Chain A
Amino acid sequence: MYKTMGATALKRLMTEYRELTLHAPEGITAGPITEENFFEWEALIEGPQDTPYEGGIFPATLTFPKDYPLSPPQMKFTCEMFHPNIYQDGTVCISILHAPGDDPNMYESSSERWSPVQSVEKILLSVLSMLAEPNDESGANIEACKVWRSDRKHFDNIVRSTVRKTLGL
């Protein structure tokens, strides 16, 4: 009857990992960095087609709290990313990573929020669509917001140069 802290989280993460391995959505790979610690994952995200991120493969870490999935993980790109909804330190700022009520960026009330009904897969799919369609209403990188709004061509150029860096070119 008594569970050690994190047992539910571990069980859920193992199930999600298995599911993601068997039925990985296109453009996404994710799993624990080492099998000794299921609370730290690495994800690789392919830049969506017909966006300046196309051709890039972007690594990110997912850090899960001990009470996952009651609380959401944090997601942070470990490569240079220029995007309105990604902080300069790589931290991803989208509504699905925040429970309703945790509202630092004043997300729209209808936007998708964290609850245990969500999953790693849903987060990564949201991140893919975030790359394709930035939301400049809740910006994390203000410089990226400004450029994205005012000079799309310049924005695309900056992104493409980060893509090249990611690929080590």
Chain B
Amino acid sequence: MHEHQEPTPETFSTPVLSTTTATATAVAAEAAVPGAMLATPANESTTAQSLSTASQEPRQGEPTAQSNEIQLTDEQILTQMQAIKDEEANAHPLVDNSVDLTELEKEYENGSQAFKNKIKNLSDTHDRMRRSRGDGNCFYRAIAFAWFERVMLAKTKPELYTHAIKAMEESKDLLLAAEFEPLAFEDFYAVTLETLESVPTSTPEALLTAFQTDEISNSIVMHFRLVASAYLKTHQEDYAPFLEFGQTMDEYCSMHVEAMGRESEEMMLIALTKAMHIGIEVAYLSGNQSADEVNFLPFSPDTEPYMPPLVLLYRPGHYDILYRKSHCLEGVV
């Protein structure tokens, strides 16, 4: 949720904070979102917060002054949050067209020299990027799209498609091994597999359209989430030591991995490299003054990878897809 695309931080950060206070800030957030509809009149149901300040009940019919704390019900707050998310959704496709790396440079035109130097050096080896929507799912969507795209563009290497299908089928076995009920994953798996199976006869444009279609794109994200979760659950001995004291792996996965919109952490990234047998390189772009190079963090599977590492551009809180010059992507605009 706190994950947002770099160029538009103001659309997300302030309203999200307001939801915990449920006061004038939330009203201001509503004002900022013209489409926000209130689900129920403000006095229809009562929240714990509003009762604790019952003496300040809003008077009906009076104009809302900034200082007057209006109490909102939970449902109203959630409706407003949804409206804010929808606004973000309309502003960016789930996966965007790829763009030249000069577009990234433009974002930092007025930024620090550290960013500029890093992007310039990055552009020696990488020439394009593709944005993934900042909706909390950007990591999963970016990695899934990059993976599908590789399979798509490797038509001259049919063995890569065979490997991908095998990895997909194995991912289902992993979900069963993690004791997920078929009901919980079968629809997402079916959509993901169907999309993969269509790759040999499809086009890069159709693949992008599929990833821009909520239902297909989110099903694929969900499949990758469940696979990451299943890997962590079936390898608890390796990963449980990284959890907060007292938290079980099941709790961690249900809170942070299995629900849409929950941001990824390094553990999920490692889990996906191992479960899908793919390497991932993360290009970490930060404002760190002491370096002129983007820091590349490599993550490798335990097995022999069947494709060169997928490359992600990471800026704190957000992932996009990055392309090496050698992986030139003609035809995928």
Q: Which residues of A contact B (CB under 8 A)?
A: 1-8, 11-12, 15-16, 19, 67, 70-71, 87-89, 91, 93, 99-105, 109-110, 112-117, 119, 138-142
B side interface size, CB within 8 A: 51
Is B204 interfacial (CB-CB < 8 Å)? no
Partner of B180 from A11, A88, A117, A139 at Cβ < 8 Å? A117
Report the Cα distance A103→B77, complex, angstroms. 10
Given contacts A89-B40, A119-B183, contact A142 B259 (CB under 8 A): no
By a CB distance below 8 angstroms, the chain A residues around B46 are: 87-88, 141-142
By a CB distance below 8 angstroms, the chain B residues around A91 are: 45, 75
Q: Which residues of B contact A (CB under 8 A)?
A: 1, 19-20, 22, 40, 44-48, 51, 73-75, 77-78, 81, 136, 180-181, 183-185, 187-188, 191, 194-195, 198, 202, 206, 209-210, 213-216, 218-219, 222, 226, 247, 251, 254-256, 258-262
By a CB distance below 8 angstroms, the chain A residues around B258 are: 115-117
The 6 closest A-B pairs by CB, nearest first: A104-B74, A115-B259, A115-B258, A87-B45, A142-B51, A117-B184
Judge whether A8 and B219 touch: CB under 8 Å.
Answer: yes
Partner of A70 from B77, B202, B218 at Cβ < 8 Å? B218
Judge whether B198 and A5 touch: CB under 8 Å.
Answer: no
By a CB distance below 8 angstroms, the chain A residues around B180 are: 117
Judge whether B215 and A8 touch: CB under 8 Å.
Answer: yes
Partner of B202 from A1, A16, A87, A117 at Cβ < 8 Å? A1
By a CB distance below 8 angstroms, the chain B residues around A67 are: 214-215, 218
Judge whether A104 and B261 touch: CB under 8 Å.
Answer: no
By a CB distance below 8 angstroms, the chain A residues around B216 are: 1-3
By a CB distance below 8 angstroms, the chain A residues around B1 are: 101
Report the Cα distance A58→B140, complex, angstroms. 41
Judge whether A70 and B40 touch: CB under 8 Å.
Answer: no
Partner of A113 from B73, B206, B214, B259 at Cβ < 8 Å? B259
Judge whether B215 and A138 touch: CB under 8 Å.
Answer: no
Report the Cα distance A104→B213, complex, angstroms. 30
By a CB distance below 8 angstroms, the chain B residues around A7 are: 215
Report the Cα distance A100→B46, complex, angstroms. 22
The secondary-structure label for the interface of chain B is helix
**Closest residue on chain B to residue A109 by CB atoms:** B255
Judge whether A1 and B48 touch: CB under 8 Å.
Answer: no
Report the Cα distance A14→B206, complex, angstroms. 29
Partner of B261 from A2, A101, A112 at Cβ < 8 Å? A101
Partner of B256 from A16, A70, A100, A119 at Cβ < 8 Å? A100
By a CB distance below 8 angstroms, the chain A residues around B185 are: 116
Q: 8 interchain pairs (CB within 8 A)? A: A1-B198, A1-B210, A19-B183, A89-B40, A100-B254, A102-B81, A113-B254, A116-B226
Report the Cα distance A133→B1, complex, angstroms. 31
Judge whether A101 and B254 touch: CB under 8 Å.
Answer: no
Partner of A101 from B44, B215, B251, B262 at Cβ < 8 Å? B262
Report the Cα distance A16→B184, complex, angstroms. 10
Judge whether A105 and B48 touch: CB under 8 Å.
Answer: yes
By a CB distance below 8 angstroms, the chain B residues around A6 are: 215
Judge whether A8 and B191 touch: CB under 8 Å.
Answer: yes
Partner of B259 from A15, A101, A138 at Cβ < 8 Å? A101
Judge whether B40 and A117 touch: CB under 8 Å.
Answer: no
**Closest residue on chain B to residue A112 by CB atoms:** B254
Judge whether B202 and A104 touch: CB under 8 Å.
Answer: no
By a CB distance below 8 angstroms, the chain A residues around B198 are: 1
By a CB distance below 8 angstroms, the chain A residues around B75 are: 91
Judge whether A100 and B255 touch: CB under 8 Å.
Answer: yes
**Closest residue on chain B to residue A86 by CB atoms:** B45
By a CB distance below 8 angstroms, the chain A residues around B219 are: 8
Judge whether A138 and B183 touch: CB under 8 Å.
Answer: no
Given contacts A8-B219, A104-B77, contact A89 B44 (CB under 8 A): yes
Report the Cα distance A67→B216, complex, angstroms. 11
